[in-house]
Amino acid sequence: MKITRRELKYKGLIFDVWQEEYETEHHIFKREIVDFPETCAVLPIFNDNSAILISQYRFPLKREILEIPAGKVGQGELPEKAAAREMMEEIKMRPEKLAKIGTFYLTPGYSTEKIHIFIGYDLKNAELPADVGEEIQVCRIPLQSLKEMMEMGDIEDAKTMLALMYFFTIFNQK
């Protein structure tokens, strides 16, 4: 597969959109590519068998959704540092310990977004100013309730579902 043309179609505040033309032995086709920065997310776990999820309005969905704290990894910032920073901005806590679940491409069919997902534990109070425009409700939820919410389809965010599935099936076995 060979790229024969690449054109910037949209330069955004958070991401850019490129249109690329590809040539194979038998076809020429076009694709739109969303060029998105690296992100991180963390599932904060308490010793009392509860976790924190956040509820925030997501404009593309036109409603609030429950998810784990997440955000962009800054230029030159380590994903672990970004995860701790996002927790301090969004839930006013920092993890003493982070366990990396892994690094994943969220939608490789059209986006370059790569996310680093962690479990954070031994949580301590720590605060950074919230990002402008973020209105977040912090929800402390028992782990058993989260398991039931997953089974009922109430957890719709992929990164949150992945982190919870990992926590319930692998992390607790270690």
What phi and psi values does residue 81 have, to the nearest 5 degrees? -65, -40
The verdict on 152 and 103 lying in the same domain is yes
Residue range(s) defining the domain that contains residue 117: 39-173
pLDDT at position 129 is 64
Q: What share of the chain is helix, strand, coil (3-state, %, to 5)?
A: 20, 50, 30
The verdict on 13 and 56 lying in the same domain is no
How large is the C-alpha radius of gyration of the chain? 18
Catalytic annotation on 134?
Answer: yes
Q: How many domains does the chain have?
A: 2
94 contact partners, CB below 8 Å, separation of at least 6? 84, 87, 88, 120, 123, 124, 126
Tokens, residue 153: 């389809």
Of 7, 23, 134, 148, the active-site residue reads: 134
The verdict on 18 and 93 lying in the same domain is no
What is the overall mean pLDDT for the chain? 92
CATH number, domain containing residue 129: 3.90.79.10
What digits encode the pLDDT tens for the residues 11-33? 999 999 999 999 988 899 999 99
The verdict on 155 and 85 lying in the same domain is yes
The verdict on 44 and 22 lying in the same domain is no
